[in-house]
Amino acid sequence: MGRVYNFSAGPAVLPEEVLKEAADEMLDYKGTGMSVMEMSHRSKAYDTIIKEAEADLRDLMNIPDNYKVIFLQGGASLVFAEVPMNLMKKGKAAYIITGQWAKKAAAEAEKYGEVVKVASSADKTFSYIPDCSDLDIPDDVDYVYICENNTIYGTKFWKLPNTKGHELVADVSSCFLSEPVDVSKYGVIYGGVQKNVGPSGVQIVIVREDLIADGPAFKQTPTMCDWKIQADNNSLYNTPPCYGIYICGKVFKWIKKMGGLEGMKAHNEKKAKILYDFLDESKMFKGTVVKEDRSIMNVPFVTGNADLDAKFVAEAKAAGFENLKGHRTVGGMRASIYNAMPIEGVEKLVEFMKKFEAENS
């Protein structure tokens, strides 16, 4: 069977070029006579892999020198706890609730201190980003938290909130490396890599070093979740997710070859425009997000008829379009069109949607 067009929200499509390179190196990585899967994380070969990965990520994102880059085990859901464990030193934080993952992050933080929910779009099923230009943020919060791109609901913060001088912490799992970003606007920017960067099981945390200089907020913070210890040990305190980091490193090089983050932005905007333009014209399919807050990574849409939605998902799968079923909390459909999704994949999806609409109207 040939490759399908994989619209999964995560784990998600990876660049074919990267997968082929990894396959070529599976049994013998650069003359070592072993796979990276078998390699000691203390070896010279692996030391080069992880150092190059960090250097390439710093270059791509133009990460300032006073920020630490940490590769850790676990996905973004583990970072929901790591954030308060490391940063909640006054015992209070502000959360902006724009979807399921921000809700879960807030619930996790409530185990460690007081959480003030300063804005939410729950009233309209998270179909928009609330106005965050003048929020009522208490003076004594340690940080303001957002999920910058909402995978399930297909919304995106195109303008960062006014944090009133407080540190901004952002989960960027589903928009990681999709466009240029000014890291200096954040205290912490982090993501699980399985949507846009690599295989599941790796989290990348980029944190300004002064925020962790004195160690975590709680003395009982597990060593594995202590960002200072992890940073001081260059992500090698223990055996890291070696193979996942190796794949991430290959993806970083692929993005550089594609024109860096400016190139990725142009590529992603072109794909999103093709799909959104069709949704705006279609009489059957409708997008579910207000136009100004639309994600260019995750595009949810519906027909308005649950049976027709199910028929579309089934026929699309038979035609080679995988993982278009919407999240269980939303229903309908969702096309995740991350960096590695080729423009051809979106064009062919729209062709199929036009055909389906003609046959079912």
Residue 172 has what DSSP assignment? -
**Separation of alpha carbons 107 and 97, rounded Å:** 11
Q: Which of 346, 350, 349 is nearest to 278 (CA)?
A: 350
Q: Of residues 195, 250, 271, 325, which has the active-site annotation?
A: 195
Are the beta carbons of 324 and 300 closer than 8 angstroms?
no
Distance (Å, whole) CA 316 – CA 117: 39
Whether 171 is a known active-site residue: answer yes
Q: 333 forms bridges with which residues in the sheet?
A: 301, 325
Of 13, 93, 55, the residue nearest 337 (C-alpha): 13
Beta bridge partners of 192: 203
Instruction: Please identify which of the residues 101, 142, 156, 325 carries the catalytic annotation.
Output: 101
Could you please report the per-residue DSSP string of 281-320? H-SS-EE-S-GGGB-SSEEEEE-S-HHHHHHHHHHHHHTT
> Per the structure block, which two tokens stand in for 36?
């990276």
Three-state SS at 41: coil
Q: Provide the terminal-to-terminal Cα distance of the chain, rounded to the nearest Å.
A: 32
Q: How far apart are CA 325 and CA 310, in angstroms?
A: 8
Catalytic residue from among 171, 226, 293, 309? 171
Cα separation, 361 vs 103, whole angstroms? 38
Peptide bond into 11 cis (omega under 30): yes
Tell me how far CA of residue 108 lies from CA of 70, 214, 218, in angstroms. Answer: 21, 23, 15
What distances in angstroms separate CA 192 from CA 31, 100, 152, 174, one per listed residue?
31, 15, 15, 8
Q: Is 195 a catalytic residue?
A: yes
Spatial distance between the Cα atoms of 251 and 272, rounded to a whole number of angstroms: 21
Neighbours of 114 (CB within 10 A): 15
**Positions marked catalytic:** 101, 171, 195
